[in-house]
Homo-oligomer: A and B are copies of this chain.
């Protein structure tokens, strides 16, 4: 790479993050080894330490990657409509939009956060643990505020996230597509109802 893309832009680094992202999602962070990432990328284990100091540094890069992905998701929701209500309804569709993965592995944010919440050795800053949730929650707060819910915006956002996390978790555990669809419609009906006052 003679071209200047900085250390963070290295092609190999990128491939490592992508493989780790996929593996952390499908197997969990703790159950993913350097060998797994090596197998998926073809890059030798020992080589990772040129790009990352520790496994947690890879995790941190994966979180950054997921932040980018969800920023894109939220941008798309904004692009679909100028009406905050429609934007929220569009966002609520995210789990069904990714239903294949959700049924199989759960929510990429929820399951990872839940795993990292457990008491263990890793010293990941609590800020990074909720980073993606914070991003989404703040975006939801913006939408609710634009609808005139100054005081309740925060609570409503937490409620929305809790509802989506709940149906995602149950759909995952029971591998139930129909429940995911039906329950999502209920969440959207709740959104309609709560925002029309």
Contact = CB atoms under 8 A, between A and B. Distances in A.
Interface of A: 26-28, 30-31, 105-106, 110-111, 113-115, 117-120, 129-130, 133, 155, 158-159, 161-167, 169-170, 172-174, 176, 179, 182-183, 186
B106 A114 contact: yes
B182 A155 contact: yes
B159 A186 contact: yes
A81 B57 CA distance: 53
A117 B106 contact: yes
B165 A165 contact: yes
Give the number of copies in the complex. Answer: 2
29 contacts: A26-B118, A27-B118, A28-B118, A28-B120, A30-B30, A30-B31, A31-B120, A105-B119, A106-B114, A106-B117, A110-B114, A111-B114, A111-B117, A111-B118, A114-B169, A114-B173, A130-B173, A133-B173, A133-B174, A158-B170, A158-B179, A158-B183, A161-B170, A162-B166, A162-B169, A163-B166, A165-B165, A165-B170, A169-B169
10 interchain residue pairs of minimum CB distance: A166-B166, A162-B166, A28-B118, A162-B170, A165-B166, A162-B167, A165-B169, A113-B173, A26-B119, A27-B119
A172 B27 contact: no
Main secondary structure of the interface of A (DSSP, over half): helix
Contact of A117 (B30, B158, B172): B172
Nearest to A186: B159
Contacts of A30: 28, 30-31
Contacts of A183: 158-159, 162
Contacts of A115: 28, 114-115
